[in-house]
Amino acid sequence: MKHILAALAAQIFLCPLEAQYFVYYEPRVTVEIGAGPGAMNSLTDLGGRGGTGKKFIGDLELKNFMAAFESHLLLDWKQALAARLQFTIGSVQAADSNLRAVQSSTFGRYERNLSFRSPVLELHLVFELHPFSIFNKEQTPTCSPYFAAGVGCFWFDPQARLAGQWYRLHPLRTEGQGFSEYPHRSHYSLRQWNFPVGLGLRLRRSGRFSFHIEVKHRFLLTDYLDDVSTEYISPAAFANYLPPRQAWIAARLSDRRAERNPLHLTQPGDQRGNSAQNDSFFTIELKLGISLPPAGR
């Protein structure tokens, strides 16, 4: 990820030195439709690198990249400012077991032994700012770096595997969400708002086609993308709110340290996650856009 960001930053700074320009003869406002593949990853309480967890991309696991796909509708003003409505589908995953090679430095993260996967469906509205097009009003650069920011909503559904079968974690309330014994832990929603922020590079000639590469990070309002945030609860509490079978599964999936060490005894209140920082996810996207002909042409 560091190499990708460095390469994109280099293109942004070098692009204006090498870019050719084409004279702008198109309408002031154009409409573009497009789509393209991408990759999605997340930063959550689970997995990561050595230590207690590094900040931001310092804790990123490249092996957790999953395929993604986007489609969009874009309203563009003179190739300088744009509003884009985008739908993205993808998935995220993480596992403490990935820390095995550095388990001696993880201070119990490897021994915690939790994991998750989740589909992600997202709809967001972002605004693009193309500074080189703004400052050159007569010509539009063929190579245009841009900033993107906006607001979106997404749906997720964290799951974990037990004995070869995947179980949805949200109904199991693994940290006592909604239990009267834990009044400060509300039952989180699977539909949440997010705030995408990113950098992109648009390549465009005088035709109707444009190509984009974009790295976009989503700031979330939830720490439960991976269903992990606070502390362990008493396993006996699950039987007060869930049917017997569900209560047994919830107890197994909420605390999996005994699978690493059968002699381990977890105490209610032991740290399970870190609620000081919300989870997040991001995408790397390749887009092909096609400008629609103006009405009457």
Instruction: Kindly state the average pLDDT of the residues 244-262.
Output: 96
- Let me know if residue 94 belongs to a domain: yes
The pTM of the full predicted model, rounded to 2 decimals, is 0.87
Tell whether the model's pLDDT for residue 21 goes beyond 80.
Answer: no
Residues 207-228 as b or e (16 or more Cβ within 10 Å = b): eeebebbbbbbbebebbbbbbb
Give the per-residue pLDDT at 138.
59
Tell whether the model's pLDDT for residue 4 goes beyond 90.
Answer: no
Comparing 25 with 67, the larger pLDDT belongs to 67
Comparing 77 with 14, the larger pLDDT belongs to 77
Q: For the segment 80-132, what is each residue's pLDDT rounded down to a tens digit?
A: 999 999 999 999 999 999 999 888 888 889 999 999 999 999 999 999 999 98
- Let me know if residue 264 belongs to a domain: no
- Let me know if residue 259 belongs to a domain: no
Comparing 60 with 147, the larger pLDDT belongs to 147
Tell whether the model's pLDDT for residue 17 goes beyond 70.
Answer: no
Q: For the segment 263-293, what is each residue's pLDDT rounded down to a tens digit?
A: 999 999 999 999 999 999 999 999 999 998 8
**Residue 55 maps to which CATH number?**
2.40.160.20
pLDDT band at residue 238, thresholds of 50, 70 and 90? Answer: very high
- Let me know if residue 235 belongs to a domain: no
Instruction: Kindly state the average pLDDT of the residues 250-261.
Output: 96
Instruction: Kindly state the average pLDDT of the residues 27-44.
Output: 93
- Let me know if residue 232 belongs to a domain: no
pLDDT band at residue 20, thresholds of 50, 70 and 90? Answer: very low
pLDDT band at residue 296, thresholds of 50, 70 and 90? Answer: low
Residue 35 three-state SS: strand
Q: CB of 210 within 8 A of CB of 72? A: no
Length of the chain: 297
Out of 39-48, 57-66, 140-149, the most confident range is: 39-48
Q: CB of 111 within 8 A of CB of 257? A: yes
CA dihedral 124, 125, 130, 135 (to 10 degrees): -160
- d(CA 56, CA 220) in angstroms, rounded, equals 13
Mean pLDDT of all residues belonging to the chain: 88
- Let me know if residue 41 belongs to a domain: yes
Number of domains in the chain: 1
Tell whether the model's pLDDT for residue 22 goes beyond 50.
Answer: no
- Let me know if residue 296 belongs to a domain: no
Other CB atoms within 10 Å distance of the CB of residue 30: 19
What is the extent of the structural domain holding 50?
A: 2-167+188-227+277-291
Give the per-residue pLDDT at 224.
97
Give the per-residue pLDDT at 141.
76
Q: For the segment 177-197, what is each residue's pLDDT rounded down to a tens digit?
A: 999 999 999 999 999 999 999
Which of 145, 108, 102, 117 minimizes the C-alpha distance to 41?
Answer: 117
- Let me know if residue 258 belongs to a domain: no
Share of the chain above pLDDT 70, in %: 85
Give the per-residue pLDDT at 104.
83
